[in-house]
Structure formats: structure tokens, C-alpha cells
Structure 1
Amino acid sequence: MLQVILQKPVYKVMVQPEKSILYSKEFRSVRLDVYARDSMEAEYDLEMQNEDQGNLPLRSRFYQAEMDAAALKPGEDFKRLRPSYVIFICAFDPFGEGYYRYTFENRCLETGKPLGDGTRKIFLNTRGTRSEGVPKELIHFLQYLENSTDEFVQSTQDETVAKLHKRVTWLKEDRRWEAKYMTFEEMLQRKMDDGLRQGIQKGIAKGITEGIALTKRVLRLNAQGMSAAEISAQCGISQAEVADILNMNE
């Protein structure tokens, strides 16, 4: 998806759905729909937006600022800030001009030259009508979000859309996941009933819901063929905890 949207190669992406950023209870937190970082350490925030609440420009500003604030440790040089993209995929036209894609970056009003701060905000419109400057691949992707049928996929003859549709179909049809999640939830409830407040993975004490979300991710990565070490690195838990989750859901 990132390669289609940005029209450039993106290598080895680490994905974290529903990433929360909270600095203090005195300030507003943010939960990113999908946070990603590639092997070059560029950062991405992808947001799905079904309704126009009239606040996308300000929301994109806030999300960008929160991502930047979390990117540096105390004392680190600003040069360590990497390119950062905030991407909204909208089921409506956010600016009313009919474009499939609106791209913003900071520029000098006098000279027109870009500031070069490495940030971009991209707003995609699944109901666009103006295709100038937009690759067919991106238009097919946005149209697919509106019409995710076998017939549409076949009509596009687009390899990327076909691969995406195949993955989406597989996820919808694989009912084994639901049974595994239920088994894990029941196990957690038994442990809590027995007074064992500490679960088998990091953060489980915060609630069953977070534990289930982490387990879903571990199972999904395992199904994709990742090793325990790779899953451990991506999920921020030990290899032993990864093994416990996989063993429990066999």
C-alpha cells in the first residue's frame, strides 16, 4: 500500500496497528490507526476516515507533531529525525476539488522552495474524479476500497489490487483465528479468576483486550512465516513469551 501511495520503493516495513502515544494525562493522547517504519527509518501514519468531521488539516498537524516528539530521545540531535508521512485515506473528498490525491509539504511563500523538513501530509479520496498526475495503480487501489468485489478486481487487471484482494479474502474466510482468540480470552479469564494478575506477555495486566490484540498479531506474523526472534523484535516481547502464545493456541 505504501509503495502504491508514494510511488517509490519501500523496504522491510515494521507495522504497528493502533499505536497509542501518551506523554501525560494532562495532555491529549493520540491513537494512530496504523503506524509503520521502514528499514530507512522513515515513519508513516495511515488513517482511514469514513466521515468528514472538518478537522483533517489540524488532526494531521497534531499527529505529525506527536510522531516527531516520540522519535527523539533526550539529548539526541535533530538531524536524527527521519522523513515522516501522515496519510489519510478518505471515503469522501476532503477538499472538494475532485482529486484522488492531495499532497502537502511546507514551502516558502516568497520563493516556493520546499522547507526540506522531511514531512508530508497526503489525503487520498476514494471518490475522486480527476486523474491527472495520479498513476492508474493508485486509482485502482482507491476504487477497490469502494468496490471490493471479485468482478471489479478482474476488470482492473491490476496485479497489486489482485494481491491485496487475495489477502483480504483469506483473512475474511479464515475462521480459525476467531476460535484461537476465544481460547486465549477464556485462558486469561481463568488466570484472573485464580488471582494470577500477571499474564504471559508484556502489558497483559492492563486488560484482556490488549492481550488479545497482541496475541492476534503474534499469530498473524507466525502465519506469515516469521521466526520467533523476528516476532519478538516486532512485538516487543521475549521469545519465550512468543513461544507461550503459540503453544497455547496450537
Structure 2
Amino acid sequence: MLDDNKFYGFTNDEIFGSIMQNKRFCKAIIQAALPDVNVVSVESIDAQKELGTKSDKSSKSVRLDIAVKDQAGNFYDVEVQVNNNHDIGPRMRYYQSSMDRDTLDRGEPYTSLSRTYLIFLCAFDPFGRKKLRYSFHLYDDEDKSIQLQNNAENIIINSKGSGSYDANLLNLQKLMNDDKIESTGVFKEIQTQIQEYNDDPKRRNLMRTAELRMKEETAVAEKRGVEKGIELGTKQEARRKDQNTVKVLTATIQDLRPEINESDLFKQIKRSVGPDFDLSESDIREIIHQNLK
């Protein structure tokens, strides 16, 4: 059941996508996440940009929330993460690698890779250190003054964190938490725009429809996951039973005929267990070998 009075804030997919389509808003949010970087004018913005592996169409594709290029050729990916699935590290690694593959064509030197900034706006603290902003680069383990210059930076903004005095970053945090922004400026404009989206019946209907569709997709995915888990559990249980069967037969035959070799023992077990046995021949041979040591 959906709440008719629900407020759709900045981290809502539809709201976030709409806000980030505005180049001035988009630049302000990226600049807040990257206070030490001079973000030049935004040239292009792609919402829900899908990246795949050019050389392998069977690889897992990635759909970026907001992919941005500036006039200097730098590439920014801004992602909203509402739920903590405890996979932030591997997820950022895969997104980064997908971005790199998408920006480098066959035959181009690695030095042609664009400078990339991967920004995750998280509604949770993935590390429990209460920092508002986490910034990651590659350094030598023993000497942090040695940095691997790979032109890639990974940023996590933790909306539940603290410890910053940067006004823009604090306003971004308020935006993520739906807290009121008192000061005038671009972040106040963004918040006003979000309120206008919520007050627009047509846009609210679109957001409600999208929310309902997402709930339905989540329910279907969870059902499939449960079914797959049950199926996997059944197969694992059957496999354990098959392994125990081989061990028992091995010990029994060995007791009856102590001089039997592994080859003859394998043939007798194959005849004993029948065609519905789940283990492969190599599995059976390995179990026999372990039990005859």
C-alpha cells in the first residue's frame, strides 16, 4: 500500500534523475562531493546510462544513475545507494572497471583513459566511522606518499556522518536527509524544485507508479531468490547424501575385499549406486582415493 502523503526526497530515483538533468544543479552536487577538484562546465548528462563489456556481451552490465562528462573530458558517475547490501567495495570496483572499458577503444593506449570520479551518495555509513565524506585512492601499503596515478577517485558521501565544515557538502547532506536548507543559493533552489515536484499531481503519479513497479520487481526478485535457494539447498543435500553413500560403500567393499584396487572398487560402486546418482565419476574416484589412504 502506497502512502498518498509521502514526500519524495532527493534520493528517490525519479527526483534524483530529474534534478541531475539540470546542468547547474548537477555541477553543484558534484562540486560539493569533490571540494578539492575544480569541476569545469558540465558538457553532457546521461541518466540511467547502461555500460556493458565491449568484448564480451555475456558479462554483467552496469546501469549508471547519472553519467556526466565535463568540457575537459573528465567522467563522473553519481550513484544513490539507499540500502546497505554490504557490497560497497566490490560494487564500486565493478562500476569503475565498466566505466574504464567504456571510455577506452581497442588499440588506444592506457594513457587515453579519462579521469574518472565515482561518487556514491549513501543513506548509511558503510564503514561505521561516522565520516561524512570518504575518499579513496591507491597508495603504497608502506609509504602513503607513493600514489598510483591511475586518474581514478572513489568518493562516498555518508548522509549520516559528520566532521566537515564545508558549506556545500553540509548542504548536500541536508539534501540527502530531506533536512531544511536555510541559506540561499543553488541548494536551496534544488530543495524548492523538489517540493514543486511533490506538489505536481502528474509528477507525483509518475513517482508513485515507479515506486509501485519497483516494489513489484523487488517482490518477484525475492521470490526467485527464495526458490533458487531452496533448489540449491536440495541439490546440496542430495550431494551430501551421495558422498556419504560412496564412503559407506567404499568402507564396506574394502572390509570384504581388502586387496581390491581403486579401479575395481570404482566399477563396483558404479554398479551399486545406479543411474540416478548425482556425483560425477571424478567425484567418486576422489572420495574412493581419500577413503583408501
By the TM > 0.5 criterion, same fold?
Answer: yes
- Structure 2 residue corresponding to 1:10, chosen from 37, 40, 43: 40
- Structure 2 residue corresponding to 1:110, chosen from 139, 142, 161: 142
1:89 aligns with 121
Q: How does 1:171-210 map to 2 (within 5 A)?
A: 171-174=197-200
Return the letter of the residue paired with 2:91: R
Does 2:174 correspond to 1:143? yes
Report the TM-score, using the length of structure 1 for normalisation. Answer: 0.63
Contact kept in structure 2, 1:3 and 1:10, CA below 8 Å: no
1:125 aligns with 158
Computing the radius of gyration over CA atoms, which structure comes out larger, 1 or 2? 2
The structural deviation recorded for 1:141 is: 1.4
The structural deviation recorded for 1:104 is: 0.2
CA offsets 1:83-117 (integer angstroms, 9 cap, x no match): 10111101011110000000001112232121111
- Structure 2 residue corresponding to 1:163, chosen from 178, 185, 189: 189
The CA distance in 1 between the partners of 2:67 and 2:95, in whole Å, is: 11
Q: 1:178 to 1:54 in 2, by over 3 A?
A: closer
Unaligned runs of 5+ in 2: 1-28, 207-293
More helix, by proportion: 2
2:90 aligns with 58
* Structure possessing the higher relative contact order (Cα contacts under 8 Å, 6 or more residues apart): 2
The CA distance in 1 between the partners of 2:184 and 2:169, in whole Å, is: 10
Q: 1:140 to 1:31 in 2, by over 3 A?
A: same
- Structure 2 residue corresponding to 1:29, chosen from 51, 61, 64: 61
CA offsets 1:104-155 (integer angstroms, 9 cap, x no match): 0111223212111110110111111333xx512201211222125xxx222x
Return the letter of the residue paired with 1:54: H
The CA distance in 2 between the partners of 1:81 and 1:109, in whole Å, is: 25
The structural deviation recorded for 1:177 is: 6.5
The CA distance in 2 between the partners of 1:172 and 1:138, in whole Å, is: 24
Contact kept in structure 1, 2:48 and 2:65, CA below 8 Å: yes
Return the letter of the residue paired with 1:137: N
Contact kept in structure 2, 1:46 and 1:87, CA below 8 Å: yes
The structural deviation recorded for 1:48 is: 0.6
Report the TM-score, using the length of structure 2 for normalisation. Answer: 0.55
Aligned residue pair count: 173
Contact kept in structure 2, 1:2 and 1:10, CA below 8 Å: no
The CA distance in 1 between the partners of 2:122 and 2:202, in whole Å, is: 31
Query: Runs of 4 or more off by more than 4 Å in structure 1?
Result: 174-180
- Structure 2 residue corresponding to 1:45, chosen from 74, 77, 99: 77
1:209 aligns with none
Contact kept in structure 2, 1:127 and 1:143, CA below 8 Å: no
The CA distance in 2 between the partners of 1:95 and 1:158, in whole Å, is: 33
Q: 1:168 to 1:77 in 2, by over 3 A?
A: same
Q: 1:164 to 1:56 in 2, by over 3 A?
A: same
The CA distance in 1 between the partners of 2:120 and 2:113, in whole Å, is: 22
Unaligned runs of 5+ in 1: 181-250
The CA distance in 2 between the partners of 1:12 and 1:140, in whole Å, is: 20
RMSD: 2.2
67-76 or 3-12: bigger deviation = 3-12
